[in-house]
A = this chain, B = another copy of it.
């Protein structure tokens, strides 16, 4: 399996801003893509965009949070996409279902890669440079739930947590692969930590853990030499990650633990507004900031565009455009190192547009 399939000169990007600040940050990603192709070394590459709908606004318009047309276009027309964020209703709304969860499943986006890296030392914790490799299609996210009444007339709701050998194999394979790649790049062995709760869930999390161990053992010798295998129980993992994040390089986890751990890791680097992700499928890559739609600050132009800009770079990297990704990431790093122009989540007073312009200026 390779995630460096596409080297096309014209790349079609689906744009799914969604709701709230999603509508503000996705255009920042587009500005970066347009800007980077102005550099002479990338002048032979062109990005096309297809605007697509999903989210609460789409639900109110069409009665569907993820219209079929969006899925169809992603499948048929797009090489990759950028997904912003969607607003969830705070109480249960008939027929509404989170479009990102559905998208991940329907598009076979089996891995969600979430690198969390500090650019300047955080001054509180150990060094943070970890990558959470989150299974993206199953676990409690299959949303198989039933509600019934017990003998006292009280409600009981059961949800199924599903762990399959196949999905566990897929996620561990990509985890080993990217960990080995990073080891090659940096010349340093990478630790890969498998997160589970098999002391309680001996079958489901037990299967995850055993499968990860088998995949590691079956990996090519040159990968095994570069990747150190570790395991952590999820509660202990959260504890250790806060106490000393420098202990962790790559972390592979079932869906829900991956969700929780990536927010925890984001807290260590100072803001969710910095943390990117890439949803990886067999033939599509969807960049997505880890933050939500942030209704409290939506419309004010002060959302941090960095998570989206880094997601854009990450998407390009998975598509094989590593140099382009590096140019973008370096520009973001330079903005953060200087620390002069930043949005309020980082304690700054600047707008999204200020930060975007500063980063664009540095893309060269």
Contacts and interface: CB of A to CB of B under 8 A. Distances in A.
Interface of A: 88, 92, 98, 101, 124-125, 140-141, 143, 145-147, 150, 152, 154-166, 197-207, 234-236, 238-243, 256, 259-260, 262-264, 266-268, 272, 292
Given A157-B162, A164-B154, A143 B200 contact: yes
B155 A164 contact: yes
Contacts of A161: 140, 158-161
Contacts of A268: 242
A239 B256 contact: no
A147 B163 CA distance: 9
B140 A164 contact: no
Interface-central residue, A164, A238, A262, by most chain B CB under 10 Å: A238
Nearest to A267: B242
Contacts of A155: 164-165, 207
Contacts of A292: 236
Contact of A157 (B124, B157, B163, B272): B163
Contact of A146 (B200, B203, B235): B203
A332 to B, nearest CB: 21
12 contacts: A140-B197, A150-B164, A156-B165, A157-B203, A159-B201, A160-B161, A235-B259, A236-B263, A238-B260, A238-B263, A240-B267, A242-B267
Contacts of A199: 88, 98
Contact of A165 (B154, B166, B243): B154
A239 B271 CA distance: 9
A203 B160 CA distance: 11
Interface-central residue, A165, A205, A243, A260, by most chain B CB under 10 Å: A260
Interface-central residue, A159, A263, A266, A268, by most chain B CB under 10 Å: A159
B239 A238 contact: no
A236 B90 CA distance: 14
Nearest to A147: B203
Nearest to A162: B158
A242 B260 contact: no
Interface-central residue, A154, A242, A272, by most chain B CB under 10 Å: A242
A346 to B, nearest CB: 12
B140 A154 contact: no
A198 B263 CA distance: 17
Given A92-B206, A155-B207, A165-B156, A145 B238 contact: no
Contacts of A160: 158-161
A260 B253 CA distance: 14
A200 B158 contact: no
Given A156-B162, A164-B156, A145 B243 contact: no
Contacts of A141: 200
